[in-house]
Structure 1
């Protein structure tokens, strides 16, 4: 929240973190994405060829025709014909940010500038002192850092506070202003001493490239090895990503981003040529930081330490960001083996080894499912019932309706597959062998397997099969190929599991395993009964989701005739769901 003690610059920074300028201006101008910008016809002059550009990364707009340009406030004042204060009020309400303008604002801005200037001069002092500290240089060398990393990240060394204070006084700064910078703190005797005394310093920049604070690594015996500046007028941890300033060009080029815990992780990755890492200075992630990452990469990677604390922090973030998910925006998670962090991992590995971890990353949706499963203590019905409750809680967190709907289908399918794998299949007089090796998407793979093993199912259950929409993309595509082939030539040799022996041996092996564990012991009509059960398992989550969507439409629809039609459809689907849920295996 921004109050009367903050400047317009801080207000704009927070707005830019929460609001994509293209979304805001897109309310009034039809914009089309083109490269890194959005283009449309200028709302401020008549033109046939679009020359109006919006850049989300810079949070600026510009028209090459009439030369109008600026930030979100400039657009609002010009488009709405508002005064500056009216524009601030309008934008603050749109962004959900409180802002109060009064006479103190100018004084606060002046004080803020003084603090930023002191921090900038202090950093110059720290950098020059690093060259005089063999102890600090030796430590950095021992961590594998070369002159390039030291210079790029402006690494320095803070000596005794007396030397720092004298240097800043010589630069014309008043003692009272120096004390307000967080470079000095009071001890128990109410005496000031250096916060970063005898520490290697890492300057920290905000999203406007202002130096707003420091991280420090102690070179002497200390209870706290690493410290950061405290929250202040200029240092706001939730609005900082360490390394973004240094790595921004590479991040823009690659459109890929790694989020790691600390600044040494960022710097070590940089030294190995991985120049697209940033850090939130810990294991928490704010909405502002998340949206900033999404400005540069649609699916950033979170790569926290591989210990229990790092894994736990990743799971907390996974749940937290559900609220902010939008179509096309997500997160992936990298797990570093052997309880290591990126810095330690790279001591004995290579850049390729780290990038291979990226290739083994887990999707947000799959991690959420793992979190849901962890709530199940045993496989008894009362605990399995918790899954539905957990899924509902997850869905309720997602504000975007389309994303919420897709997560519902995904998690329901995961639940069905999970329950299928942990229970023995029982029907009448037969029991199936328990699956030893759990296979992902078992229902869907059994479904594909059975229609390939017996093409009669494609004829007898043709309509039901065509209504099935598989969750796993590759299996969905394979089903479409099978149905297309069957329609064109029911006797085609491609309708055979042997075709996978050469093209996808893993899938071929899974089909054989499923045949052995689920199908070989079935006799007579048992296979057909079993296939119908699979059909029901695949259809049920789709029907439930469709019913929920219709229910929302009924509530929102004002036309009574349309509502009546929707109600009939709702009743029909509910009856179909009831039949499936209550139907015993024949």
Structure 2
């Protein structure tokens, strides 16, 4: 059975060689490689190395060398097809079914590569000839030097329907159609050249073989860029332009830069920044991201500064978040004024680009901006929608630790921007409503004792059941607390919930100490109230329900108290008989409603648990 080179290349790409070899050989990490004593010969000093980025192992002692497939055939003695099947099963790939024509196709693929290389040389000859004068002028205008043209193999396709076909007639029409150089009309007319009147840029695979072309129109015309169609050689979604040249440079530089277009890559390379690649006119795919992550853990995306470029960056951010594993991410460079990297290089050289690249944005920032797009965050509806979107974004990842950390980061930023501000100045006033004309509120001593006992119990309960904090964060942050100690504890709880979402015993003890309460082991922290969350160490659902209900009751009581104060102030300011009766009636109703709320809060603490 014959397998295509494309299938085998993808199989190797999807296999982490160090993981495979590490199952039977003890590997030690050394920089970007792994070392071990060679399993193929006896030695005391390690000379066997595994390189995941290059996908091979090598022994400097006995010269053993190979890839993942060869490891299974040489080290474990598996037949070739058994080795392929084992790797494919691990990589989640299906081995193609036996096909008697597969060998012929594999042999034909070699012919396609030869045809593409011949075409590349012919296009280069045309650029240097009479027909290429306009293309040469265009390159000169773009500031692309002769050495750069040669390094990237840039050529020119004359505006002719048959010159390439005639020049490569030795390969036959069908082969030229199969590798995308000719177009075969459906009406049985003769094939004709696909690329006409275009600057020709070879697209190479990771081994440096020409597998496709990108053609840029000279002058006016559409499409501006024309790529080869997908062929037996060319898979657009898995290919990155310039990866063959950029990968070694990226390993040296410790970074890889992803830009939008061929000419951006070429301009950066001419300026000395060789570690740049580009997708091929489409959104960055998961397969392309996997290739980038094999080179560096955090690639840098530098898409154009226009709307299209920023939308492409946002799509890449969403796709990368869902696909990455712990330790992987993306960074994003935003170019000013709708410029592309080529513009920046031509205006200010490599220094200008590096200055912009020195302050990249993080993946979490792009995800936030994507979620916030189109929302009016001045009002509660927009903020609620943003929180909902951010939760959806965080939950899109299946790895729990990543989802939790991004949820925490989103919550941190949300409350930094909109959260624990209690609405006014540093004196605790809420938009001028804090004390009103009558000064700060004053409750009767008995009622104050009940309210503070409930609040103290809630704060202890939240320290004991920190998972409930997120559900009550907003109403809790809005409570006006007269007691400075309780206010400080409330703030500490909210802050700790953001910065340390899983509160440890040390954090709990420090918070409880602020309340002069016993540590977590003793739940008799508020003996005056018998709340379940202060007694039971097991019933988290009941505890969280009670805490949510109590905070809501306290928030409603506060609102009633504020209205009570406004009515009382009006009674002082307006003594007219016509208004007095109505205002006094309203004040009495508010007093009764407020007392009922606090009574309910007290009843919750004297529920069934007390009667057992």
Aligned partner of 2:401 in structure 1 is: 402
Q: Distance in 2 between matches of 1:255 and 1:433?
A: 54
Q: Distance in 2 between matches of 1:111 and 1:298?
A: 37
Per-residue CA deviation, residues 256-306 of structure 1 (Å, 9 max, x unaligned), is: 111001101101112222221110122411222212212222211101111
CA shift for structure 1 position 109: 0.7
Q: Distance in 2 between matches of 1:581 and 1:27?
A: 54
Q: Distance in 2 between matches of 1:80 and 1:388?
A: 53
Aligned partner of 1:144 in structure 2 is: 143
Partner of residue 124 from structure 1, selected from 118, 121, 124: 121
Aligned partner of 1:108 in structure 2 is: 105
Per-residue CA deviation, residues 48-95 of structure 1 (Å, 9 max, x unaligned), is: 433331111210112344543311111223444422111111111111
Change beyond 3 A, Cα 1:269–1:66: closer
CA shift for structure 1 position 198: 1.4
Per-residue CA deviation, residues 469-527 of structure 1 (Å, 9 max, x unaligned), is: xxxxxxxxxxxxxxxxxxxxxxxxxxxxxxxxxxxxxxxxxxxxxxxxxxxxx999565
Q: Does 1:179 align with 2:177?
A: yes
Instruction: Please say if residues 369 and 414 of structure 1, whose CA atoms lie closer than 8 Å, have aligned partners that are also in contact.
Output: no
SS in 2 for 1:177: helix
Aligned partner of 2:450 in structure 1 is: none
CA shift for structure 1 position 355: 0.9
Instruction: Please say if residues 218 and 226 of structure 1, whose CA atoms lie closer than 8 Å, have aligned partners that are also in contact.
Output: yes
Aligned partner of 1:244 in structure 2 is: 243
Task: Give TM-score scaled by structure 1 length.
Answer: 0.73
Q: Distance in 1 between matches of 2:234 and 2:204?
A: 9
Q: Distance in 1 between matches of 2:135 and 2:380?
A: 61
SS in 1 for 2:334: coil
Aligned partner of 2:66 in structure 1 is: 70
Aligned partner of 2:34 in structure 1 is: 38
Q: Distance in 2 between matches of 1:386 and 1:582?
A: 26
Instruction: Please say if residues 540 and 580 of structure 1, whose CA atoms lie closer than 8 Å, have aligned partners that are also in contact.
Output: no
Partner of residue 538 from structure 1, selected from 482, 485, 495: 495
Instruction: Please say if residues 540 and 577 of structure 1, whose CA atoms lie closer than 8 Å, have aligned partners that are also in contact.
Output: no
Aligned partner of 2:56 in structure 1 is: 60
Q: Distance in 1 between matches of 2:416 and 2:68?
A: 48
Q: Does 1:168 align with 2:165?
A: no
SS in 1 for 2:337: coil
1:79-94 equivalences under 5 Å are: 79-94=75-90
Q: Distance in 2 between matches of 1:529 and 1:432?
A: 22
SS in 2 for 1:338: helix
Instruction: Please say if residues 199 and 218 of structure 1, whose CA atoms lie closer than 8 Å, have aligned partners that are also in contact.
Output: yes
CA shift for structure 1 position 424: 1.7
Instruction: Please say if residues 265 and 343 of structure 1, whose CA atoms lie closer than 8 Å, have aligned partners that are also in contact.
Output: yes
Instruction: Please say if residues 408 and 501 of structure 2, whose CA atoms lie closer than 8 Å, have aligned partners that are also in contact.
Output: no
Instruction: Please say if residues 212 and 227 of structure 2, whose CA atoms lie closer than 8 Å, have aligned partners that are also in contact.
Output: yes
Q: Distance in 1 between matches of 2:431 and 2:73?
A: 71
Aligned partner of 2:335 in structure 1 is: 336
CA shift for structure 1 position 432: 5.7
Residues matched between the structures, number: 478
Aligned partner of 1:448 in structure 2 is: none
SS in 1 for 2:272: coil
Q: Distance in 2 between matches of 1:582 and 1:266?
A: 60
Per-residue CA deviation, residues 150-205 of structure 1 (Å, 9 max, x unaligned), is: 01100001123433222213xx3223322322111145864422111111100000
Change beyond 3 A, Cα 1:257–1:388: same
Instruction: Please say if residues 331 and 364 of structure 1, whose CA atoms lie closer than 8 Å, have aligned partners that are also in contact.
Output: yes
Structure 2: gaps (5+ residues):
434-458, 467-478, 505-535, 559-612
Instruction: Please say if residues 428 and 480 of structure 2, whose CA atoms lie closer than 8 Å, have aligned partners that are also in contact.
Output: no
Structure 1: gaps (5+ residues):
435-460, 469-521, 548-567
CA shift for structure 1 position 546: 7.0
Aligned partner of 2:271 in structure 1 is: 272
SS in 2 for 1:348: helix
Q: Does 1:22 align with 2:21?
A: no
**What's the Cα RMSD here?**
3.4
Name whichever of 58-67 and 136-145 sits farther off. Answer: 58-67
Q: Distance in 2 between matches of 1:412 and 1:524?
A: 24
Name whichever of 173-182 and 226-235 sits farther off. Answer: 173-182
Change beyond 3 A, Cα 1:117–1:294: same
1:566-581 equivalences under 5 Å are: 571=539, 575=543, 579=547
Q: Distance in 1 between matches of 2:307 and 2:135?
A: 31
CA shift for structure 1 position 321: 0.9
Instruction: Please say if residues 36 and 47 of structure 2, whose CA atoms lie closer than 8 Å, have aligned partners that are also in contact.
Output: yes
Change beyond 3 A, Cα 1:577–1:128: farther
Q: Distance in 2 between matches of 1:261 and 1:163?
A: 31
SS in 1 for 2:211: strand
Aligned partner of 1:229 in structure 2 is: 228
Aligned partner of 2:531 in structure 1 is: none
Change beyond 3 A, Cα 1:577–1:80: farther
Change beyond 3 A, Cα 1:242–1:309: same
SS in 2 for 1:38: strand
Q: Distance in 2 between matches of 1:71 and 1:26?
A: 14
Instruction: Please say if residues 49 and 57 of structure 2, whose CA atoms lie closer than 8 Å, have aligned partners that are also in contact.
Output: yes
Instruction: Please say if residues 200 and 217 of structure 1, whose CA atoms lie closer than 8 Å, have aligned partners that are also in contact.
Output: yes
CA shift for structure 1 position 224: 0.9
Aligned partner of 1:452 in structure 2 is: none
Aligned partner of 1:491 in structure 2 is: none
Q: Distance in 2 between matches of 1:530 and 1:370?
A: 33
Larger radius of gyration: 2
Instruction: Please say if residues 184 and 194 of structure 1, whose CA atoms lie closer than 8 Å, have aligned partners that are also in contact.
Output: yes
Change beyond 3 A, Cα 1:299–1:428: closer
Change beyond 3 A, Cα 1:184–1:48: same
